[in-house]
A and B are shown apart, each in its own frame.
Chain A
Amino acid sequence: MHTHWHAFTVIFSRDIILVSRCRAELVNPLVFFVVVIALFPFAFGSDAELLKRITAGMIWITALLASTLSLEGIFRSDYEDGSTEQMVLSGYPLTLLVAAKVSAHWCLTGLPLIIIAMLTGFILSLPTQALQALFLTLLLGTPVLSLIGAIAVALTVGLRSGGMLLSLLILPLYMPILIFSMLAVENASAGLPIDAELYFLAGMLVLSITLGPIATAASLRIRLS
């Protein structure tokens, strides 16, 4: 029996390799992000003043949606081909293996999204303080999205109603993250300190790192029973 760390790295690298084989899975969330951002000027009639005010919100919401859409597939293929059962029976803590999968997902989706989001913010001339706040909130927030979202994905994996039900479950749980991130960006643009919001986001991050995988593992077990 190998060490836990070994099990973690095996699952982690497996997911990374699987996705790198299918480049589309990697690139799709990023393309989705750019396309949706491009929709906003059409909807708001290129009113430059208005768009400037909502840029940060646009970016965060689109990143949130892109992350949700890509999260949907995190357990699907494993559930369908029986790998999930193998993981449960493997003797390694399911929580650990789930944590590995979620980490891999964040590295593959969250990190590139942060980079693209920052580029987009820069191109759309977000002021520097807003950019900084955006970066910090995305850095703290996107892992939370992956961790909490994974719980809902585990609960609904393989169901007929799939995506719609998943969004209905996930988005209410995401709202506090979005609220605090936008509060931080707003305060930063006004020159106010954003420590409180960052501490809250960091607190949510720690909470989701410690409890998220446990809930996700429990959800997978329930679905497999």
Chain B
Amino acid sequence: MILKPLYRFASPQNFYHLSVLLTPWFAWATVLLMLIGLYGGLVFAPADYQQGDSFRIIYIHVPSAWMSLFIYVLMAVFGGIGLIWHVKIADVLAKSCAPLGLSFTFLALATGSIWGKPMWGTWWVWDARLTSELILLFLYLGYMALQSAFDDRRVAARAGAILALVGMVNIPIIHYSVEWWSTLHQGPTVSKFDAPSIHINMLIPLLIMALAFKTYFASVLLLRARTEILEYECNSNWVRELLNESD
């Protein structure tokens, strides 16, 4: 009952048209949220009494880190769906996630490093969270390398799915690393159930930026997946018609 409309959108052709429809909405939402979030983070939020204005890096660093984890889980889930139920669109979505996940992981590590220099006095430290986030970077790279090593797309997608699922072990390690080990990195401040230990004026831009990153991810993902599905289905009639129309 609920699944019926979902089945319809699992068809590559319907997905393509859905993507064309939705991408502009997500793109504009991103622009709007980014502008609000940037104003909130750079101007509205008060300077931290300990870290001064350098704490504003948080508005890039934390959303990037959240995205790096979120995208990996999504990639593994899509891969799993493609693996178990042989849904082409799931394979395509998983593959399209990877470069974005890589970008956000890199951004999280880089901004974290830049933030760490004035705060901790060093560009890098081998503590639990940083090291496990670095492992995540390598997992994304390995995933992309594995997919490009195969000529057959379907084999590539399935191999990637297995790798992504095996690498899922790393996600809880990253997330709970600051709780399990006493590390240099700050402990969790934003939890699902407790009142956050951060000032509300600082929290709101953070959440807005997080949302902005999500809409950004959605728009770029839909764009990449759209392109990928065209290549996948290049022999079918609907692709031909589409290309003839656009000529």
Contact = CB atoms under 8 A, between A and B. Distances in A.
Task: Say if the two chains contact directly (CB < 8 Å).
Answer: yes
A169 B142 contact: yes
A165 B149 contact: yes
Contacts of B132: 176
Given A156-B149, A222-B155, A222-B159, A168 B166 contact: no
30 contacts: A148-B166, A155-B146, A155-B162, A155-B163, A159-B150, A161-B145, A161-B149, A165-B142, A165-B145, A165-B146, A168-B138, A168-B142, A168-B145, A169-B142, A169-B145, A169-B163, A171-B138, A172-B135, A172-B138, A172-B139, A172-B142, A172-B170, A175-B131, A176-B135, A207-B169, A219-B159, A219-B162, A223-B159, A225-B154, A225-B155
Interface string A192-213: 0000000000000001000000
Interface size class of chain A, counting residues whose CB lies under 8 Å from the partner chain: 20 to 34
A15 B95 CA distance: 36
Given A172-B167, A173-B167, A219-B159, A179 B139 contact: no
A171 B135 CA distance: 9
Contacts of A222: 155, 158-159, 162
Contacts of B163: 152, 155, 169
Interface string B134-161: 0100110110011001100011001100
Interface in B15-74: none
B178 interface: no
Contacts of A161: 145, 149
A131 interface: no
Given A161-B149, A223-B155, 8 more contacts: A155-B162, A156-B149, A165-B149, A169-B142, A169-B146, A169-B163, A179-B131, A219-B162
Nearest to A216: B162
A171 B163 CA distance: 13
Contacts of A225: 154-155, 158
Nearest to A164: B145
A151 interface: yes
Nearest to A222: B158
A176 B138 CA distance: 13
B173 interface: yes
Nearest to A171: B138
A225 B86 CA distance: 13
Which of B150, B154, B163, B166 is most buried by chain A, counting CB atoms within 10 A of its CB? Answer: B166
Contact of A159 (B138, B139, B149, B167): B149
A37 interface: no
Which of B131, B154, B163 is most buried by chain A, counting CB atoms within 10 A of its CB? Answer: B163
Interface string A36-58: 00000000000000000000000
B166 A151 contact: yes
A108 interface: no
Contacts of A148: 166
Contacts of A175: 131, 135
A160 B145 CA distance: 12
A173 B162 CA distance: 13
A67 B173 CA distance: 24
A215 interface: yes
Interface in B168-183: 169-170, 173
A207 B149 CA distance: 28
A151 B149 CA distance: 16
A69 interface: no
A218 interface: yes
Contacts of A160: 149
Nearest to B157: A222
A173 B138 CA distance: 9
Contacts of B146: 155-156, 165, 169
Contacts of A152: 163
A171 to B, nearest CB: 7
